[in-house]
Chains A and B, each alone.
Chain A
Amino acid sequence: MSDLNTQAVARYKNNFLREVEERVEEGDMVKMCMQCGVCAGSCPLGPHWQHSPQKIFMMIRAGKREEVLTSDSMWMCTSCYNCIVRCPRQLPITHIMHGLANYAHRLGIAPKGQPTREFAKTFWNNLIKKGRVNELTLTLAHYFANGIGPGIQIALNMQKIGLGMVLAGRLNPMEIFGGHSVKDLNGFHAVLAKAKEIEDRKKGFSA
């Protein structure tokens, strides 16, 4: 994947803003930020990340490519949309954060083992498998993502909950064998494949 990165560097030289505008979801709105900081103050996970959205936008304009793409700040987005509704310039901040995360992830330079990054990957792979999320396998896959040891630990902690869910009829042990699925799975996958192909072409990931 990192060849994608070197290729991108070569293509955009030091014009990171241009790179973001062309390759990141809603990236063309980054330039409209006026640095008021309302997004920074509105984020529920504010205390936990390093760079606020408005600061990330400034870093993009300042060409701090490495710092931005390897930052774990955008991975802290809970998609609460507070920033979007308060932004006086109506920047789709949530989507830009998602877009940056996705882009860093595509380039393979997003922080390794970043839990949300890992979970997001697991989630997506889970849902595209059958077209619908299999909550059991998703949960298990997630808990065991870091290997058997910690997995068991978490699983034990969560056991009561899991059991409770089962008893409450809200978690189906049988899902381990298949579970919900769309019928026209081929069609579903064809759509996804085509969409990915178009996007890659558009964003210059493929020649």
Chain B
Amino acid sequence: MKLELGHIHISDIQIAPESKIENGVLYVSEEAVKEIVLEDEKLKSVALDVAKPGESVRITPVKDVIEPRVKVEGSGGVFPGVISKVDTVGGGKTYALKGMAVVTAGKIVGFQEGIIDMTGPGAEYTPFSKLNNLVMVIDPIDNIKQHEYEKAVRFAGFKVAAYIGELARGLTPDETFEYETYTIKEGLEKFPELPRVAYVQMLQSQGLLHDTYVYGVDAKRTLSTILNPTEVMDGAIVSGNCVSACDKNTTYHHLNNPVIQDLFEQHGKTLNFVCQIITNENVYLADKQRSSDWTAKMCKLLDLDGVVVSQEGFGNPDTDLIMNCKKIEAEGVKTVIITDEYAGRDGKSQSLADADPAADAVVTGGNANQVIILPKLDKVIGTMDYITKIAGASDETLRADGSLEVELQVITGATNETGFNKLSAR
């Protein structure tokens, strides 16, 4: 399957009477966005704001970050099974608006988390500080259930991202990249000498605020399965995950999965990128066993030589990670796993909640317990009301000078386990 991905660079976002993209500037009509968001009767209001790199702005509590895209050729549309029909995507041509994102924010539960600082030390840890962010702070109607609110905000993000992506349909991309994977037989004929490599992506799937959707299906009710890696570039996997800001995968991470990009970079040169395998991280232990058994079984069936495994979230996924690693290695398939660490504030505790000698090749996204001081910023988009109620923040969080003492955990994407960042630890 082959996908052409056209990049359209967005250098600025402005709120304007009419939505359009001109000379790399995105103009957004607040009216139009409001209309889209408030279509959902569960939502009462939406406040639109723009946060640019370097500005003294803090966005919190962040729910999701989404890159607008539009499918211009080929079957299906972006976010299949969610916004578009469930047709298989990943072929044809897609445009992506680079350098920007739609950020949804809103207090879904009282301990909601996720900070994006656009400047200062915090900005170094989140990739989203480098983007022009169109932020939507979304409030629900009264007496709404949390899961309804979560769903409404999740959909509002995708709808607005799709709406903005649509503005690019008639444009000419600044750059175009091609991604192509081959069928089993084709791949063997084309690259007989190259090691066969796949990407095993673990998806958070545990309940409210901990879910991921694949073509609209709740991942916890799925068996491990195979995707063309280009499918995720069209939004086949979206985030419903609001907890563990530092190491959850936002929809932006899924769309721009760095393991997929870096495997494609080597594809046909040093390795044959065969496919992506997705597997879940359920609460029920027998599910963990089944899913990891299936993952290992597919690795064997596909005659793979190696895989990169990425994790999502904290704690019990360590068990899934080690199960996957151990079982895949036992099939004679080499693994490298990507995780992050909770080694305590002093860095001295055991980093993972599980371990096995088979996991001899580990990439880490850093210690999420590391303490960081975030200075007071001029403007807050969202609310600071709950800042002490977020993971890794404590009652000493808000200091006298207005700065915050927090753990990296609270920063959106800080220790991401798809290897999105340069942060590491030793």
A binds B: no
Binding site for A on B (CB under 8 A): none
Binding site for B on A (CB under 8 A): none
